[in-house]
Amino acid sequence: LAFAVAPARALPSPQTSTITVTASVAKSCTMTNTSLNFGAYDPASGTADDQTATFTLNCTKGTTGTVSLNNGVNGARNMKGSGTNTDLLKYEIYSDSTRTTPWDTTNTVAATGPNQTLTVYGRIATGLYVTPDTNYSDTVTASVTF
């Protein structure tokens, strides 16, 4: 038997390269909310109508979001009656459960981190003299700065 030896062939060297992977993350906050619904207000009940709503604030890590609330489209936190009813039903919004600290554009509420729940405390005082109506309403704009 004869063995033949073929000359060795060099295998090609693998070629390598690198890929740079980058991203940027901007500061951001998003906000969702529920409505503040006072339901059926009874001015003769002798007690204030207290209700709550919530905001969920979701900010990027290390970002503090500050939420302010304006006075509403009817001004000075007033709900307007429907149709020809021009009466205004006064309400207030607070940042604390004792309803002593107004929540507005001056007194704001801050939150950090993901999914922070902020409670809105609303109140209609007792004994307000307004026309009966099934749809007093206002729209308050919430703004978050970060």
Tell me, yes or no, whether 142 lies in a domain: no
What's the pLDDT tens digit per position in 119-132? 999 999 999 999 99
pTM to 2 decimal places: 0.83
What's the pLDDT tens digit per position in 40-87? 999 999 999 999 999 999 999 999 999 999 999 999 999 999 999 999
The domain containing residue 33 runs over which residues?
Answer: 29-132
Residue 87 · residue 130 · CB < 8 Å: yes
Tell me, yes or no, whether 15 lies in a domain: no
Tell me, yes or no, whether 46 lies in a domain: yes
Tell me, yes or no, whether 145 lies in a domain: no
Tell me, yes or no, whether 72 lies in a domain: yes
Tell me, yes or no, whether 2 lies in a domain: no
Tell me, yes or no, whether 48 lies in a domain: yes
Instruction: Indicate the number of domains in the chain.
Output: 1
